[in-house]
Amino acid sequence: MDRRLFLKFLATGILVGCAPGEFTSSPIKTNVLRPPGAIPEDFFASRCIRCGRCAESCPYRSIKILDIKHGFYAGTPVIYAEKIPCYLCMRCVKVCPTGTLQKVSQKEVRMGLARVNRRLCVTWNGTGICRSCYNACPFKEQAIKLDRLRPIVVPEACVGCGLCTYSCPVKPKAIVIEPIYAFKASK
């Protein structure tokens, strides 16, 4: 088999099951986040050397490594907030050899921003009382406050760790994390 035919078979095999654009589109979306301290998404995949140290160092197994189906982003780390959120131990930033995960304090982390869907939230829609997101927040009364028992997110203090989303008992989730740095260039 010549080289051209081999490469054609390889490319075909990799692309099987991928929707158009999926091979090169960022995997970062609602409740799918980069680990703490991540540089902007525009530069993340080109700087990450895919060593996996961040995932290995995570004691909670929050960080997952993307597989080959994610094309250009294969081998890069993500956190699925609904499954296992980030507990902000910050071990991943300590082991990153390239600075793709930059050393920041817990309060400086900006993985995303929590957003409450008032129609789904039982406290907001009046069908019950729930404080799960508030109780789970590591920065309660800073990142999430209660107004007449209803959760209010304070954007300046929310780190986007996903603990609130993970603890939300409603399906679909009444509070989700929207990534902050997706598709933004660094300053």
Q: Write down the mean pLDDT value for the chain.
A: 89
Question: What's the CA gap between 42 and 52, in Å, rounded?
Answer: 20
pTM of the model: 0.84
Check residue 6 and give its pLDDT.
53
Alpha-carbon distances of 140 from 54, 132, 154, rounded to whole Å: 27, 11, 10
Helix, strand and coil percent figures for the chain, each rounded to 5: 30, 15, 55
Pairing of strands 112-116, 175-179: antiparallel
Q: What's the whole-number mean pLDDT along residues 94-111?
A: 96
Q: What is the mean pLDDT of residues 76-87?
A: 98
Report the SS3 class of residue 109.
coil
For 10-46, what is each residue's pLDDT tens digit? Answer: 555 555 555 555 557 889 999 999 999 999 999 999 9
Q: Give the pLDDT of residue 186.
A: 37
